[in-house]
Amino acid sequence: MSKRVKIKHLIKEGQPGEKVTVSGWVRTFRQNRFISLNDGSCLSNMQIVVDFENMEESIIKSITTGAAISASGEVVESQGRGQRIEIQAETIEIHGLADPDKYPLQAKRHGLEFLREIAHLRFRTNTFGAIFRIRHSASFAIHKFFNDRGFYYMHSPILTGSDAEGAGEMFQVTTLPLNDVPKTEDGEVDYKQDFFEKATNLTVSGQLEAELGALALSEVYTFGPTFRAENSHTSRHLAEFWMIEPEVAFCDLEDNMNLAEDMLKYIIQYVMDHNREDLDFLDNRLQQEEKSKPQHQRSPMALIEKLEFCLANDFERVSYTEAIRILMNSKPNKKKKFQFVIEEWGADLHSEHERFLVEKHFKKPVILYDYPKDIKSFYMRLNEDGKTVGAMDILFPGIGEIIGGSQREERLDVLLSRMKEMDIPEEEMSWYLDTRRFGTCPHAGYGLGFERMILFVTGMANIRDVIPFPRYPGSAEF
């Protein structure tokens, strides 16, 4: 096995006359002669030509879709069209059989919902191979982007004793026996007897901890799993998802927007440069799918076209106030076509409004900023007008909110009064407030939902199909 060559390398570099060994999983075996072998290194398969007259019959019988094999032989120029080279097999070693009566994957297209039920095997399809190679690339690109700019990768805790992050419902973590929970005298759960001697949860955000890091290391980012126990039934929410949260000292909202836009474009460019074959495949797959849809439901741009457009154009930066003006003057608002008609400044924007701005009005990614303080979190910096905070959301076509961020409130007195307004207990946040007591400075950051980014780059429709083992209400299989 030491001489094994990856198919990706062979396709690029392989020369006729070389003796090679390739290992992988059989996709199809045609005419007892042609094996299409995939090893996951790239989308393309290597064609192995078998001389079945001179091959043991038990081996020929074992070459079925899904079987794991190694093939050794000489690289030759392919006589057929469709590939530059192929391998003339001299020996074939069978590592693992796949009973064709029971193996659920066939050389045909399966529905995504069926594949979700066999998520442990869906890696072996072209579509999911492409998605997870792209997911890897995007993940690597994010580390490279921040590393090249002098950011430090900071590991924020996954188990947290802080319950004031305010980003959503939390999963409780405990070692207390659920069928016999110890109680205090007044009938409350006695967390003193729990593992951490206090109530703990899975993190919903690493932001507050990242702020602590940024106020010493200047520029940090987190990239880790995040957990929200929201009962969300949509195609863009997960109970366990990966989030990227950069936090930058001496940075205002505009710097923050610039960083976010640069990062998103960098990721897209990186994937375009390194995963072209996978993108072409997904693009093609999507176009086939579009053909079966009625005209008005078809997307205006193909996948790669959409990514290129995104790279070539500045994101539209619009203040909340301006967005409200546009929405109030819009046709659907005037004709009361919106489910929630915008009546006045201060209204919360629903996804129908965001979609109108992104998909109908501007037709490109939009950054909305300076939201009313009443609809945003306590840590966002109060603007001079006293009414708005330095928040920004980046909205992508077809996805909605992909990034949420803000300049943080660095002034202790303002932060304390905001916390009081919003009933955030001061005692529990003293560690956070210390950064404002000692050497506070302007700083800003944001959170990127990694799976939403992958959704956009792959053109997939459901977030459950861009993470290997999705977690959502009622589902924690595998």
Partner RNA sequence: GGUCCUUUAGCUCAGCUGGUUAGAGCAUCUGACUGUUAAUCAGAGGGUCCAAGGUUCAAGUCCUUGAAGGACCGCCA
Nearer to RNA, 119 or 412 (CB): 119
Q: Which of 124, 135, 408, 464 binds RNA (CB under 7 A)?
A: 464
Q: Is the Cα dihedral 14, 15, 21, 23 positive or negative?
A: positive
By CB under 7 A, is residue 108 in contact with RNA?
yes
Query: Shortest approach of RNA to residue 123 CB, angstroms?
Result: 17
By CB under 7 A, is residue 168 in contact with RNA?
yes
Distances (CA, A) of 141 to 112, 135, 446, 453: 27, 10, 17, 12
Q: Which of 404, 442, 445, 459 binds RNA (CB under 7 A)?
A: 404
Residue linked to tokens 């950051």: 445
Q: Which of 47, 62, 125, 333 binds RNA (CB under 7 A)?
A: 47
By CB under 7 A, is residue 452 in contact with RNA?
yes
Q: Residue 97 in contact with residue 59, Cβ under 8 Å? A: no
By CB under 7 A, is residue 139 in contact with RNA?
no
By CB under 7 A, is residue 311 in contact with RNA?
no
Q: Which of residues 214-233 bind RNA (CB under 7 A)?
A: 228, 230-233
Measured distance CA(447)–CA(165) in Å, rounded: 13
- What are phi and psi for residue 438, nearest 5 degrees? -120, 105
- Residue partners of 18: CB distance under 8 A and separation at least 6: 74, 75
Q: Which of 15, 17, 82, 294 binds RNA (CB under 7 A)?
A: 82
Query: Shortest approach of RNA to residue 437 CB, angstroms?
Result: 25
Cα dihedral 320/322/327/329 (nearest 10): 160
The span of 76-84, 125-133, 178-186, 187-195 binding RNA (CB under 7 A) equals 76-84
Could you say which DSSP state residue 206 is in?
S
Q: Which of 1, 15, 54, 101 binds RNA (CB under 7 A)?
A: 101
Pick from 236, 175, 238: nearest CA to 475: 238
Q: Which of residues 367-386 bind RNA (CB under 7 A)?
A: none
Measured distance CA(125)–CA(167) in Å, rounded: 36
The span of 79-87, 156-164, 173-181, 262-270 binding RNA (CB under 7 A) equals 79-87
The span of 154-162, 172-180, 238-246, 304-312 binding RNA (CB under 7 A) equals 238-246
Q: Spell out, one character per residue from 313 to 352, where the chain touches RNA: x when CB under 7 A holds, - when not.
A: --------------------------xx-------x-xxx
By CB under 7 A, is residue 31 in contact with RNA?
yes
Q: Residue 394 in contact with residue 366, Cβ under 8 Å? A: yes
Query: Shortest approach of RNA to residue 111 CB, angstroms?
Result: 3
Name the amino acid, one letter, at 467. Answer: I
Which long-range contacts link 6-12 to residues 24+ away (Cβ below 8 Å)? 6/39, 6/41, 7/37, 7/38, 7/39, 7/41, 7/42, 7/44, 7/45, 7/46, 8/41, 8/42, 8/44, 9/41, 10/46, 10/75, 10/85, 11/42, 11/44, 11/46, 11/83, 11/84, 11/85
Query: Shortest approach of RNA to residue 379 CB, angstroms?
Result: 11
By CB under 7 A, is residue 284 in contact with RNA?
no
The span of 260-268, 379-387, 401-409, 417-425 binding RNA (CB under 7 A) equals 401-409
Q: Which of 167, 326, 412, 433 binds RNA (CB under 7 A)?
A: 167
Nearer to RNA, 194 or 354 (CB): 354
- Residue partners of 129: CB distance under 8 A and separation at least 6: 38, 40, 43, 123, 278
Which helix (H) or strand (E) covers residue 416, if one does?
A: helix 412-421
Q: Which of residues 242-281 bind RNA (CB under 7 A)?
A: 243
Q: Which of 10, 63, 238, 324 binds RNA (CB under 7 A)?
A: 238
Q: Is the Cα dihedral 132, 173, 236, 232 positive or negative?
A: positive
By CB under 7 A, is residue 291 in contact with RNA?
no
Q: Which residues pair with 201 in a beta bridge?
A: 160, 172
User: What is the contact surface with RNA in residues (CB under 7 A)?
Assistant: 28, 30-34, 36, 47, 49, 64-65, 78-83, 86, 88, 100-101, 104, 106-108, 110-111, 113-114, 116, 167-168, 205, 228, 230-239, 241, 243, 339-340, 348, 350-352, 355, 393, 400-404, 447-449, 451-452, 461-464, 474-475
